[in-house]
Every structure is written in C-alpha cells, then in structure tokens.
A = this chain, B = another copy of it.
C-alpha cells in the first residue's frame, strides 16, 4: 500500500478543513460527504476524519471558524487604521470585496455551511442571529458618522442589512470567472453607499 503519511493532529485537521472547503465550493454542501472530502485530501479512509473531528457538524463548524477568522484577519486591521466613522465603513467595503475576490472558495463554502448546517432538532446551527453582532457594529459606525455630521439621517437598520447583503452580492459577482476588476467594484460600491447615506465628500 501507499506509505502512511503521518501529520501532527493540527496539520491534519487543517488539511481536512481545506479539503472540505474545496468540496463544498466545487460540488455543494450536499455533496460534501466524508468520502469525497477524504478522496480530495488523499486520505486512506473516512475513518481518519472521524478520528480528528467529533462528528460532521464539528468539521463544518471548523470550516466556518476558519473562513471567518481569515476574513477577520484581512479586514479588521484595515478598518482599525481609519480615523473617521465614514472612513471605517468605506474601508470595510473595499477590504471585504478584495477578500472575496482573493478567496472565492472560502466565501462560497462559508455561506453554504451557514445556510445548510443544522442542529439535530432541525434548527439552523448558524441562524440569522449570527449576523447580529456585525449588523450592530455597522449600525454603530453609521450612527457615529451621523452624529459627526458625516452622514445624513436614515434608518440604520435598513442600511446595515442592505450593506451586508450588497456585500454578499459582491462576493458572488467578483467570484465569476470572467470578472476582471474587484478593486473597481469595491470602489464603486463604496461610492454608491456614500451617496445613499448622504456623505458630503469621498474619504481620501
């Protein structure tokens, strides 16, 4: 037989999560079986996945944690470097679209797991409430910008939900094989958002 390859538990877990992301992105959540994940990772059997993850849901939660962590690491420092609330939101949009273009598989897999992974009782593991912290923070930045006179008055809940959704749309759009310029898409979306929120001037 082929020689046994021995990895540290951490390295093997990473490899399995990566394979899971690729299978989900290429073949869909429903096709992400242990057999297909193992084959893509070159594992000798699905038993190895069960050895490293308590069950399938645990693997899927790891997929979410991994992608979320990667995105956070890319976007958060860029936001922290901004001076004004409106600049923070501008950077959030631009950096997000950049990340989506750079990691399309991760984003596809993330939303597939979020939309499909369920608890034994049938409820979504990551229901709509998973978005709340992000929405709350977006609304806070918007209110800060309004108070600072950078933005006009509008319903921050509707705006935050719409911005979050528009970014999801951007992820799909810049993942298309023929798409050429994600940076331009990000700039244009940020401009649209600035206009919608009544900003006086572009951030630098």
Contact = CB atoms under 8 A, between A and B. Distances in A.
Interface footprint category on A = 35 or more
Contacts of A118: 27-28, 30-31
A6 interface: no
Contacts of A166: 161-162, 165-166, 169
Contacts of A161: 166, 169-170, 172-173
Contacts of A185: 158
Contact of A29 (B116, B170, B191, B195): B116
Given A30-B118, A115-B115, A169-B165, A192 B188 contact: no
Contact of A164 (B169, B189, B193): B169
11 contacts: A31-B122, A116-B116, A128-B172, A155-B188, A161-B166, A162-B166, A165-B165, A166-B166, A192-B196, A193-B196, A195-B195
Interface of A: 26-31, 112, 115-116, 118, 122, 124, 128, 152, 154-155, 158-159, 161-162, 164-170, 172-173, 176, 185, 188-189, 191-193, 195-198
